Amino acid sequence: MPKGASQNQIRNRLKQNANADGPRPPPQRFRRGGGGSGNRWWNAYHLADRLTPSSATLTKLFAGLFAVIALIFLVRFVTLKARTARLWTPVPLPTLVPQNGTSAELSPDLFWGTYRPQLIEDGLEPQIRHWCEQSDRLRYSWDAHDGRNFGSQSIRDEEFAITTEFVKRPKMGGKGGDWTARISTKLVGVNASDAKQRQRSPILSVMFYFLLPDSTLGHLRGQTVDEQFRLERIQGHTKELGEFQVNFRPRTSGPVRYTHLSTYAPREDLIKETVMHRMTGSPDGTIGLTGRSNMKIENLFVFQMTSMPEFQLEVSFESVSGLSDRQAAGGSLQGETFSREFSRHEAAFNRSLAQKFGATVANEKSSGFVRSALSNMLGGIGYFYGSSIVNSPETETTAAYWPAALFSATPSRSFFPRGFLWDEGFHNLLIGQFDPEISRDILAHWLDLMNVNGWIPREQILGFEAKAKVPDEFVVQPDTNANPPTLFLAVEQLLPYLTRDGAGKADKEFLRRLYPRLATWYAFFNTTQAGLLPGTYRWRGRDSNKVHQLNPLTLSSGLDDYPRASHPTDEERHLDLLCWMAMASRVMAQIGFAVDAPDWRKFSATWESLRAESHLDKYHWSEQLASYYDYGLHSERVRLERPQPPKLKPGQPPPQTPPKKIRRVDVEPRLGHVPGFGYVSLFPMLMRLLQPGSPRLGKILTDLADPKLLWTAYGLRSLSPQSSMYNRHNTEDDPPYWRGAIWINANYLAVTALRHYASQPGPHRETAAQLAERLRTAVFNNVMKEWDSTGFLWEQYEDRTGRGQRTHPFCGWTALAALLAVA
């Protein structure tokens, strides 16, 4: 064939040769080269046959290949689909909360409450106070709150002093009952008898709004009176509440202006914008509302009262079904009846405080502090409903969790007005001591948020109002990230109540349903957070690609920027997580024994295995540093450095901002223990793993009391000043967080652990008792001092001065100081 002949040309010539020479001989093995023309014919024939298989062979080949590829993609698709579905599938276990998600079925007393802690009920012209904001410079605090029946809140807004009070009657008619809120105002620093001073005093406008969300499928209608069209009453109906009415009773001795608004608000987070859009000025300089909006659907009613303090407004909610019960109780919850009921509940609250916290044995100031701390914890409880936005890095899927309710305390009304998983365990150490039933209800809601994998989203951003307070980058919750299982601490404290003699049916059923849920949660930690070696653990979620961070954050640990290994790897071993799992094993064994579970001994054996000193020493004790530490790939010589700006092209303007600092490593990392004595090093003691006679315990107690390490006059600092990371920024914009400041949750754990070892026979008993009392006194006195001078509980306290800093008011775990009031 000529050079460059095509495959078709070869095939045609072969056919011609075959026809000329007769039938083909039997196939022979192809031989390279050969002698005469016959050999050449066979060589060419076999070459073409191998180069161009028959069409049937090609079809079979491609069909088989396609089938294999399709099968691979199908298996992967089905696997990812199944894994993705597990992300938003609830664990198939009996729920702890009734299916409709209302708290009322667990406790009717909890149907109504101050369950929107992120809001402040206070209007000041021309600025509208709606959200709780740190920038407002307001001082607001619950003076008394029992979590159920009554509460009193003080708000100081410049020269205005505002008091909001409420009282409930939960059993009026079986539809949630009645409640009344009273708002009282007065001027501070103004002589009421001086007419000139009063004339110059500014006026105050208070708005009370009532919103009926679309989900209720209810309706509202208003009733006005007098020439000002004052809103006197709202009447309404929902399936859950039945028929009801809301009555407005203002009281004032001076000039007053009333306005109101009835309109439609699409969502609860748009209430402020909806109201401001319907405001209008008046000749006297005040701002009022425009009345009816003439919309077909009106789900938002606002009552406005504008006057010069002092004045008062009572707003009462009454269920029509509770008429006979109301008459039997002495009439509506208004005026003198309200005052009498408020005083009755307040007296009961004070007796309960004295009984459960020993507040009467301390001085008057400490009693006031305990009352305030507890009240603000209870007043910060919220009720939320919605879907978390969750993500599975494994399947690269972001989706909505199932719609769910959450009854939970909140760390801070101004900055963190939502549920946080590891915070909630600490919150319920206080709540559970005052009202175990409320604590049981909270734990039930949290544990019902568990998916089929045993995962619970660590930050609950449920509903439009909650989402409005969170930057977008923090909304999505990855399902690979855990959070310290502090709910086990709350359950351990609650266990004696749930197993007490005479425990009711609800308590026994709760405990029976609780055990398998906690076992599922435990299994999630034990598998997804396990280390490479048996009995070791590693927090997931650290990202070495975050080059602007001095030390990659460990947000899942709750300790955020606490220094870990400088280079995250799978070989890391985190001491605090091992201790959390040991504690969880101990609690699982206790609950399993209480409910006669067949596998409780397995958890008991795990507790003994993880707490064994030989196990702790093998993986976390450093002979060189003489303490317990994390283990990982680490370099101490790490710094932040600003990179050189890129060279500019001719005529190109310089950048307006310099490039951000990035992490530089001056000495290559090595596998080993991560130095830096701090809270993590205390965990074997904090979780009570160490035996009372252990020499390791004695060494920790010595180091704990060393002022050069953790001890201060105000409590234990989070990281020793001898650490290379002490008080260092993690990025150029992020100040230190867990790198020296004093945190009350860790100090509370330290005091209770020291008390535990003080109660056990052993060589360290006396030292533990002395340190427990010294630390209790230091922490309580400093937190109370800062509360007395600023009016706030703070997120953390500066280790050199004791000054409160960062978020305020922070009435979450800082309120645990109330449990340290008495020795």
Per-residue pLDDT tens over the stretch 185-219: 998 876 656 656 556 667 888 889 898 988 788 88
Torsion of CA 119, 121, 122, 127, to 10 degrees: 40
Residue 592, both tokens:
């399993």
Whether 124 shows a pLDDT value over 50: the answer reads no
112-140 mean pLDDT? 62
Say if residue 11's pLDDT is above 60: no
What percent of the chain is predicted at pLDDT more than 70? Answer: 85
Query: Which residue from 52, 42, 48, 1 is spatially nearest to 21, judged by alpha carbons?
Result: 42
**647 φ/ψ angles, rounded to the nearest 5 degrees:** -65, 140
CA 801 from chain centre, in angstroms, equals 29
Average pLDDT over residues 169-198: 78
Q: List pLDDT tens digits, range 704-713.
A: 999 999 999 9
Residue with tokens 């993705």: 84
Q: Which residue has the higher pLDDT, 171 or 775?
A: 775
Tell me how far apart the alpha carbons of residues 749 and 309 are, in angstroms, rounded to a whole number.
46
- Over residues 258-314, the pLDDT tens digits come to 988 888 988 888 888 888 778 787 777 677 787 777 777 888 999 999 988 889 999
Average pLDDT of the residues in 755-776: 98
User: In the chain, pLDDT over 90 holds for what percent of residues?
Assistant: 57
Q: State yes or no: pLDDT of 20 exceeds 50.
A: no
pLDDT score, position 362? 56
Instruction: Name the nearest CA neighbour of 157 among 143, 136, 142.
Output: 136
Kindly give, in sequence order, each residue whose CB lies less than 8 Å from that of residue 239, ignoring residues fewer than 6 positions away.
216, 217, 218
Question: Do residues 121 and 133 make contact, with C-beta atoms less than 8 angstroms apart?
Answer: no
The percent helix, strand, coil of the chain (3-state, each to 5) is 40, 20, 40
Q: Which tokens sit at 11?
A: 């095939």
Give the least confident one: 184-198, 640-654, 659-673, 682-696. 184-198
Q: Is the predicted pLDDT of residue 8 greater than 70, yes or no?
A: no
Q: 64-85 burial by CB neighbour count: b if 16+ within 10 A, else e?
A: eeeeeeeeeeeeeeeeeeeebe
Cβ(646)–Cβ(686) below 8 Å: no
The yes-or-no verdict on residue 17 having pLDDT over 80 is: no
Give 284 or 1, the one with higher predicted confidence: 284
Amino acid at site 531: G
Where is pLDDT greater, at 264 or 487?
Answer: 487
Q: Which residue is catalytic, options 125, 136, 243, 560?
A: 560
Lowest mean pLDDT among 52-56, 654-658, 796-800: 52-56
Question: b vs e for 239-262, b when ≥16 Cβ sit within 10 Å of the residue's Cβ?
Answer: eebbebebbbbbeeeeebbbbbbb
Peptide bond into 108 cis (omega under 30): no
**H or E element that contains 232:** strand 230-238
Single out the catalytic residue among 465, 795, 798, 799: 795
Q: How many CA atoms lie within 13 A of 390 on its CB side?
A: 30
Amino acid at position 64, single letter: G
- Residue 132's pLDDT is 56
Instruction: At 144, list the tokens.
Output: 């008394």
> Which is the CATH superfamily of the domain at 108-328?
Glycosyl hydrolase family 63, N-terminal domain (2.70.98.110)
pLDDT score, position 14: 39
Sign of the alpha-carbon torsion through 615, 619, 620, 621: positive
Residues 500-505, mean pLDDT to the nearest whole number: 87
Strand order in the sheet with 476-478: 397-400, 389-392, 476-478
Q: Identify the pLDDT of residue 158.
A: 78
Note the pTM of the prediction, 2 decimals.
0.87
Q: Are 41 and 24 in contact (CB under 8 A)?
A: no
User: Does pLDDT of 613 surpass 90?
Assistant: yes
Measured N-to-C along each axis, helices 744-758 and 679-686 cross at an angle, to the nearest 10 degrees, of: 40
Average pLDDT of the residues of the chain = 86
Mean pLDDT value across residues 214-240: 85
Q: What is the pLDDT of residue 49?
A: 43
Q: Among this protein's residues, is 448 annotated catalytic?
A: no
β-sheet with 256-263: strand ranges across: 204-211, 300-307, 256-263, 291-292
- Band the pLDDT of 55: cuts 50, 70, 90: low
* Domain assignments of the chain as residue spans, ordered by start: 108-328
pLDDT at 245 over 60: yes
Q: What is the pLDDT of residue 463?
A: 85
Residue 659: DSSP 8-state: P
Pairwise pLDDT comparison (62 vs 18), residue with the higher score: 62
pLDDT above 80 for 454: yes
pLDDT of residue 471: 81
Backbone angles phi, psi at 301, to 5 degrees: -120, 135
Which of 287-296, 445-454, 496-505, 790-799 is least confident? 287-296
- Average confidence (pLDDT) over 29-50: 37
| Per-residue confidence (pLDDT) for residue 41, from 0 to 100 | 33
> Is the pLDDT score of 806 beyond 80?
yes
Question: CA-to-CA distance for 414 and 720, rounded, in angstroms?
Answer: 31
Q: Is the pLDDT of residue 360 over 70?
A: no
Please check the confidence at residue 585 and state whether its pLDDT lies above 70. yes
**Quick check: is 795 catalytic?**
yes
Residue 779 has pLDDT above 60, yes or no: yes
pLDDT (tens digit per residue) in 395-408: 677 889 999 999 99
Per-residue pLDDT, 77? 59
Contact assessment for residue 680 and residue 629, using Cβ atoms and an 8 Å cutoff: yes
**Nearest partner of 374 among 675, 35, 143, 547, judged by Cα:** 143
For the ranges 311-325, 419-433, 534-548, 574-588, which has the lowest average pLDDT? Answer: 311-325
When pLDDT is averaged across residues 128-154 and rounded to a whole number, the result is 79
C-alpha 489/C-alpha 580 separation (Å) is 10
Instruction: Say if residue 816's pLDDT is above 50.
Output: yes
Least confident residue range of 74-88, 223-237, 698-712, 732-746 = 74-88
Higher pLDDT, 744 or 88: 744
